[in-house]
């Protein structure tokens, strides 16, 4: 929702977007690249590429360096049209852009530069930035924000006419400059030739000994170009993620926005603070979410469905009017009007038909359960196809695994399986058949037959009474303590 892009505001295509993603991310203290860490269930890199695609770049270049073995494959997976440029040594943002331009043909038009680790930046904001750049006829337009604590950021120095004179890095700034609260987000649109000639002229005469992309703005001004700023009020959009504390804060904020967006779209959320909805989740109106509901991945939920409390669904499809209570499901399809839980576990490949039921303490895996069929209590259903209108009694186990291989079972329509049954796979129960409670089924049960496979009951007349009497007599015997066992 909030991270989505709206096509209405998409401007004409830019020549290129360059995503800087070569930096280290040491403060995450992670074996995983920072860019693979997730916000709203999507990697930071994925947010960056989604925002970039909103301005329809003819060329998309991601500058990679640190943890390149992790970042590069993800770039190609998420954006097959993207090119990567390798920056082997991190010599500054200006150097990173030089590396990007080396893999691009000569460009005309605009080049947008953004970062891989600014996950809340939206495509809408990038589109506004491009619009502002065009409307003002700028050579460079930088995205800025007024922040309460500008420490560490580059400061925007403006001329009396409002144009940007230059950007001064925190470490190169004097006291007066450090007092400026308007900061450089690091996101810009450049006229392609301004960028190409600018980065070619950079030097490393500064506190960090790096090639600063920010110096291109001063150079553009010196060449007589207009340099403008587009200021955003949404400070989150310019904020990078450097450690896991920031990561959690950003996840909470993105979630707050996502949940609010869904409430405005007609979803009832009983407790927004304990409801988590990933960026790619889709909900229909009149969905009702109880506290402790976590909707992850590409989950979709149909109109009027009721979820939770304490339920986590990942990459699931929930039909209209279905209900899931205190359960966990992954890659499962829950049909319209079906009910699940409390306390059940639906593993990948579970497909519960319309008006079907998976009740309490049931585990399912690769289980296709037909319309109106019920698995109400305490069962395991694995590698099974169950037809429509069947009832699987309490405590039924599909014994699908012999320790080496797994075998599938097929249960027809209108079948009744009695409680406490073990169906040894591959089991085959025909339409309308009846399996007696407590059976261990090892042979097919044809349609409309009764399958019964258990020891026959035998009653021994008076046995329990006799035992009681003999125990009582032993307890009364002298010299023998009845309490001793
Ligand atoms: C930069 C800006 C600063 C701005 C800040 C916003 C410069 C000189 N300074 O600061 O004005 O306020 O961003 O966050 O541009 N990167 C590379 N290769 C490099 C260096 C950086 O790919 O050699 C990437 C990093 O992965 C990161 C981004 O560029 O995504 C910014 O780098 P970072 O070091 O965080 O920013 P600063 O240079 O400190
Ligand atoms: Ca730096």
Q: Is 218 in the pocket of ligand 1 (CB under 6 A)?
A: no
Parallel, antiparallel, or unpaired: how do β-strands 328-330 and 311-314 relate?
Answer: parallel
Q: Record the tokens describing residue 214, joined without a space.
A: 């920010």
Nearest-angstrom CA–CA distance, 290 and 243: 31
Q: Is 87 in the pocket of ligand 1 (CB under 6 A)?
A: yes
Predicted local confidence at residue 480, as pLDDT = 55
Predicted local confidence at residue 478, as pLDDT = 81
Whether omega for the bond prior to residue 250 falls within 30 degrees of 0, making it cis, is no
Predicted local confidence at residue 452, as pLDDT = 98
Other CB atoms closer than 10 Å to residue 447's CB: what's the count? 13
C-alpha separations of 438 from 146, 359, 442, 452 in Å: 72, 20, 13, 8
Residues of the chain with pLDDT under 50: 1-8, 482
Nearest-angstrom CA–CA distance, 239 and 181: 14
Q: Record the tokens describing residue 443, joined without a space.
A: 């042979």
Q: Is 33 in the pocket of ligand 1 (CB under 6 A)?
A: no
Whole-number Å distance, alpha carbon 103 to ligand 2 midpoint, is: 23
Whole-number Å distance, alpha carbon 97 to ligand 2 midpoint, is: 14
Nearest-angstrom CA–CA distance, 217 and 435: 80
Backbone phi, then psi, for 30, in 5-degree steps? -135, 150
Nearest-angstrom CA–CA distance, 124 and 130: 10
Nearest-angstrom CA–CA distance, 306 and 376: 19
Q: Taking every pair of C-alpha atoms in the chain, what is the biggest distance, in angstroms? A: 118
* Residues 388, 414 contacting (CB under 8 angstroms): yes
* 21: nearest Cα among 73, 87, 82: 87
Give the position, in ligand 1's atom list, of the atom nearest the Cα of 184.
12
* Residues 295, 308 contacting (CB under 8 angstroms): no
Angle formed by the axes of helices 192-200 and 93-102, nearest 10°:
120
Name the closest ligand to CA 93: 1
Residues 6+ apart with CB under 8 A from 33: 25, 66, 67, 70, 71
DSSP annotation of 456: P
Question: 258-451 falls under which CATH superfamily?
Answer: Hexapeptide repeat proteins (2.160.10.10)
Nearest-angstrom CA–CA distance, 379 and 363: 6
Whole-number Å distance, alpha carbon 93 to ligand 1 midpoint, is: 5
The residues assigned a catalytic role are 377
Give the position, in ligand 1's atom list, of the atom nearest the Cα of 185.
6
Find residue 212's DSSP bridge partners: none
DSSP annotation of 162: S
- What CATH architecture is 14-238? Alpha-Beta Complex (3.90)
Ordered by start, the domain boundaries in the chain are 14-238, 258-451
Q: Whose CA is nearest to atom 20 of ligand 1?
A: 92
Predicted local confidence at residue 483, as pLDDT = 53
Full DSSP string of 379-409: -EEEEEEE-TT-EE-TT-EEE-B-SS-B--E
Q: Whose CA is nearest to atom 11 of ligand 1?
A: 154
Which helix (H) or strand (E) is 436 found in, with range? Answer: none
Residues 136-160 pLDDT 10s:
999 999 999 999 999 999 999 999 9
Q: Is 396 in the pocket of ligand 1 (CB under 6 A)?
A: no
* Residues 418, 436 contacting (CB under 8 angstroms): yes
Q: Record the tokens describing residue 450, joined without a space.
A: 């009764």
Residue given tokens 């553009």 in the structure block: 220
Whole-number Å distance, alpha carbon 240 to ligand 1 midpoint, is: 10
Nearest-angstrom CA–CA distance, 161 and 138: 14
Distance of CA 60 to the CA centre of its chain: 24
Predicted local confidence at residue 379, as pLDDT = 98
Q: Is 44 in the pocket of ligand 1 (CB under 6 A)?
A: no
Q: Is 206 in the pocket of ligand 1 (CB under 6 A)?
A: no
């Amino acid at each position: 929702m909030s991270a989505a892009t709206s096509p209405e505001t998409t401007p004409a295509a830019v020549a290129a977007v360059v995503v800087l993603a070569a930096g280290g991310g040491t403060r995450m203290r992670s074996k995983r690249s920072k860019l693979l860490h997730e916000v709203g269930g999507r990697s930071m890199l994925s947010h960056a590429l989604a925002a970039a695609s909103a301005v329809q770049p003819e060329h998309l270049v991601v500058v990679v360096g640190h943890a390149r073995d992790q970042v590069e494959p993800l770039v190609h997976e998420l954006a097959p049209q993207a090119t990567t440029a390798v920056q082997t040594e991190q010599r500054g943002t200006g150097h990173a852009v030089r590396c990007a331009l080396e893999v691009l043909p000569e460009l005309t038009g605009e080049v947008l530069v953004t970062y891989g680790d600014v996950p809340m930046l939206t495509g809408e904001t990038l589109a506004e930035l491009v619009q502002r750049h065009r409307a003002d006829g700028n050579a460079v337009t930088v995205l800025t924000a007024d922040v309460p604590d500008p420490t560490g950021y580059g400061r925007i120095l403006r001329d009396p006419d409002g144009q940007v004179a230059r950007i001064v890095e925190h470490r190169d700034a004097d006291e007066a400059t450090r007092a400026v609260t308007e900061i450089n987000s690091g996101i810009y649109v450049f006229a392609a030739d301004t960028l190409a000639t600018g980065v070619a002229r950079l030097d490393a005469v500064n506190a960090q000994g790096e090639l600063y992309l920010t110096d291109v703005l001063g150079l553009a001004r010196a060449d007589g170009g207009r340099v403008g700023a587009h200021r955003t009020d949404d400070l989150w959009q310019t904020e990078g993620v450097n450690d896991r504390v920031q990561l959690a804060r950003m996840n909470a904020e993105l979630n707050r926005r996502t949940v609010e967006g869904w409430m405005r779209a007609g979803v009832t959320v009983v407790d927004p603070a304990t409801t988590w909805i990933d960026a790619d989740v889709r909900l229909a109106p009149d969905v009702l979410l109880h506290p402790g509901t976590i909707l992850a991945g590409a989950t979709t939920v149909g109109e009027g469905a009721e979820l939770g409390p304490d339920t986590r669904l990942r990459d699931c499809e929930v039909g209209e009017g279905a209900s899931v209570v205190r359960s966990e499901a992954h890659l499962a399809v829950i049909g319209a009007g079906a009910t699940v839980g409390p306390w059940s576990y639906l593993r990948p490949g579970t497909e519960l038909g319309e008006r079907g039921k998976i009740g309490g303490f049931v585990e399912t895996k690769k289980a296709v359960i037909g319309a109106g069929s019920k698995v109400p209590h305490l069962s395991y259903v694995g590698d099974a196809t169950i037809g429509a209108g069947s009832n699987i009694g309490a405590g039924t186990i599909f014994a699908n695994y012999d320790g080496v291989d797994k075998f599938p079972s097929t249960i027809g329509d209108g079948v009744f399986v009695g409680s406490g049954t073990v169906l040894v796979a591959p089991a085959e129960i025909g339409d309308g058949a009846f399996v007696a409670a407590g059976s261990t089924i090892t042979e097919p049960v044809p349609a409309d037959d009764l399958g019964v496979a258990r020891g026959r009951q035998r009653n021994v007349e008076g046995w329990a009474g006799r035992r009681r009497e003999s125990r009582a007599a032993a307890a009364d015997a002298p010299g023998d303590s009845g309490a001793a066992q």
